[in-house]
Structure 1
Amino acid sequence: MNVDLFDFDLPPDRIALRPASPRDTARLLVLHGAATRDRHVGDLPGELRAGDLLVFNDTRVIPAQLEGRRGDARIGATLHKREGPRRWRAFVRNGRRLRDGDTIDFGAAVSATAGDRAEDGSWALDFAGDEPVELLLERAGRMPLPPYIAARRAADARDVADYQTMFADEPGAVAAPTAALHFTPELMAALEVAGIGHVTLTLHVGAGTFLPVKVADTAEHRMHAEWGRLDAVTAARLNTARAAGGRVIAVGTTSLRLIESACGDDGKVRAFEGDTAIFITPGYRFRGIDGLLTNFHLPRSTLFMLISALMGRERMQAAYAHAVADGYRFYSYGDASLLLPGD
């Protein structure tokens, strides 16, 4: 499909630079079948049904952005994906000044040696020393805000908490599963009272989630692989919920993509651990989920293609036009949408 089909106009002032406070006061655009409703995230218990099951991603964002020097050259690195105990794949700024075997000094007694450069432009970085890389990043790294926020303001102390979900437990992501940023303990308690359950899985979101689609046809785009794990107990709960008539609602596209990666043609979810590079576009047949709660996405992005596959491209174009006109806040710190294709 032509990538231009997934374009839309977004005024820059619709891009949220801070999250709503409290988090569950963010607005919620509900698309249920042909119906459209303007709500707030706190209204979610009334928009779902007893027996439904929400699926959260428990990945934890690490301070994955580093600034350093190779001699006189300034080098910026955004870690993308772990490849070993001390090796990470990274997207590098000013990479033309870097060669295989060069050492980059990131300050705070943190350094890494550049390895091979992959076809996607990312470099392998091997961190020196014996300390866990997570400790090195705590010293020298900073929170990796999305580029559309970082271009307008610097990351600060508020982002350390704001850009982490209440479910964050497994370190390894370089971007937050932002749909879950809207949830609070109070909202989770209200969902439990309403008979709506929840489970968690892990998918470590990579920096590739922010890379633009540079090809004209979706068939030519290649997704970056991300590591995920969905255990047998969680798989059983998903299958049991659907067998009992409940709906599986993915909270975020990361949860959705891992469930679909773990689901067979028979609609049964199985345990999964490993890399996934699933790319969902219109025409895809969803097997493991019945709905999605997600933020508003970039034009021409793989995520807008995914929600167009779930709800229909024209439906999503109209919904986004409504969201823009009605003042919804977009992207990672913005508002949310609940997408229910219908029964």
Structure 2
Amino acid sequence: MQTDDFDFELPAERIALRPAVPRECARLLVIKRHRGIIAETTIADLPLYLRGGDALIVNDTRVIPCALKGYRQRGEARVALNVTLHRRTRGDAWWAFAKPGRRLAVDDMLVFSSADEKLTVMARLCEKGEGGEVLLEFDRAGVALDQAVAAVGDMPLPPYIASRRAADQRDRSDYQTIYASRDGSVAAPTAGLHLTEKMMTRLAVHEIGLERVTLHVGGGTFLPVKSAAIADHRMHAEWGEIDSATAARLAARRAGGGRLIAVGTTAARLLESAARPSGSVNAFRGETDIFMTPGYRFAAVDGLMTNFHLPRSTLFMLVCAFAGYDVMRQAYAHAIATGYRFFSYGDACLLLPEG
């Protein structure tokens, strides 16, 4: 298939700049695999479309405030720049995307300060990679670097939001799931933003389990597919983990007739990376660059709750792989025509198995 097959026109007003308030009032489009739309409702009704014994698998990664503003210092000359950290390589070093990257050179010193200018962090540019990537070695490491980044950085809002408004204090909570606990992502697993404490309680009452896995979302999640044929695209790698105890509980759910419902494409990618052909999920720890497109046979994921994704994106390709290309094209056309809100702060769809 061609990348153009996954293109569609999206009016700018369909892009959500803030989440729905309260979260449960966000719209939910319920879709059966290979069948199509079966209901239009809201997140508040999510438990009604699940069954006792099912498990929701959520990604407990935590977004770090890794969008840094600063300047390049070269003698007396300064050039303002924006940097987004996206993959840590060791205690004191990160790969990052920098703008304007072309004006940077190896051994340049980059300077970042907190808003009150009480803290300054410096980094040396060690290496330049493809696509504007730079390797930065900071003047501190480990927890000290984590604390410094938290002080000088902002939440890394996706480009389609950041181009229309600045990040603010509200995004510190809005762009973080309520169960986020493991620092490491530069983008939120956004389907999980719909889940609240109230919803978690309701799910437990309906005997719907909640299992946590971790996939640290990298900056590559926003990179466009540039190849004409999707088979030529190479996915960015992201680090993930499913511990043995979680894998055992998922196996028990399946054995008892429960379904595994991934909350978000990140959880789905990790589950499929850890799956045996039989559908059982192994413990997993390491990087995955799995790329799911139409024709892929899902082994572990029975259902998927996810937001509405970018045209020509690997995420839209994934949902087409899961529910069917024609089904998802029709569902997205319906969502656009009827005012659903798209992307990170937008509405959601629930993709269920055929039965």
TM score, norm. by length of structure 2: 0.94
1:207 aligns with 2:219: yes
Q: Which amino acid aligns with 2:321?
A: A
Please report how far the alpha carbon of residue 24 of structure 1 lies from its aligned counterpart in structure 2 after TM superposition.
1.5
Q: Which amino acid aligns with 2:61?
A: T
Distance in 2 (CA, whole Å) between partners of 1:341 and 1:266 is 17
Distance in 1 (CA, whole Å) between partners of 2:305 and 2:273 is 18
1:79 aligns with 2:85: yes
Q: Select the residue among 150, 153, 166 that pairs with 1:141.
A: 153
Q: Greater CA deviation, 210-219 or 123-132? A: 123-132
Partner of 1:4: 4
Q: Which amino acid aligns with 2:340?
A: Y
Contact 1:293-1:338 at 8 Å conserved across structures: yes
Instruction: For residue 157 of structure 1, give the secondary structure of its aligned residue in structure 2.
Output: coil
Matches within 5 A, 1:201-240: 201-240=213-252
Q: Residue by residue, what CA displacement relative to the aligned partner does 1:88-123 show, whole Å, maximum 9, x if unpaired?
A: 111111111111221101123101111222334311
Please report how far the alpha carbon of residue 126 of structure 1 lies from its aligned counterpart in structure 2 after TM superposition.
1.0
Structure 1 gap segments, 5+ residues each: none
Q: Select the residue among 97, 113, 127 that pairs with 1:116.
A: 127
Structure 2 gap segments, 5+ residues each: 114-118
Contact 1:310-1:341 at 8 Å conserved across structures: no
Contact 2:66-2:150 at 8 Å conserved across structures: no
Partner of 2:56: 54
Partner of 2:39: 37
TM score, norm. by length of structure 1: 0.98
1:197 aligns with 2:195: no
Partner of 2:351: 339
Q: Which amino acid aligns with 2:309?
A: H
Q: Greater CA deviation, 214-223 or 249-258? A: 214-223
Matches within 5 A, 1:1-343: 1-33=1-33, 34=35, 35-71=37-73, 72-107=78-113, 108-130=119-141, 132-343=144-355
Distance in 2 (CA, whole Å) between partners of 1:166 and 1:296 is 21
Q: Residue by residue, what CA displacement relative to the aligned partner does 1:250-289 show, whole Å, maximum 9, x if unpaired?
A: 0000000011111122222111111111111111110111
Distance in 2 (CA, whole Å) between partners of 1:141 and 1:2 is 38
Q: Which amino acid aligns with 1:193?
A: V
CA RMSD of aligned residues (A): 1.1
Q: Residue by residue, what CA displacement relative to the aligned partner does 1:16-53 show, whole Å, maximum 9, x if unpaired?
A: 11001111111100002424210101101110001100
Q: Residue by residue, what CA displacement relative to the aligned partner does 1:224-273 show, whole Å, maximum 9, x if unpaired?
A: 11111110011111111111111000000000001111112222211111
334 and 98 in structure 1: CA distance in 2 versus 1, 3 angstrom threshold: same
Distance in 1 (CA, whole Å) between partners of 2:241 and 2:186 is 17
The number of residue pairs the alignment matches comes to: 343
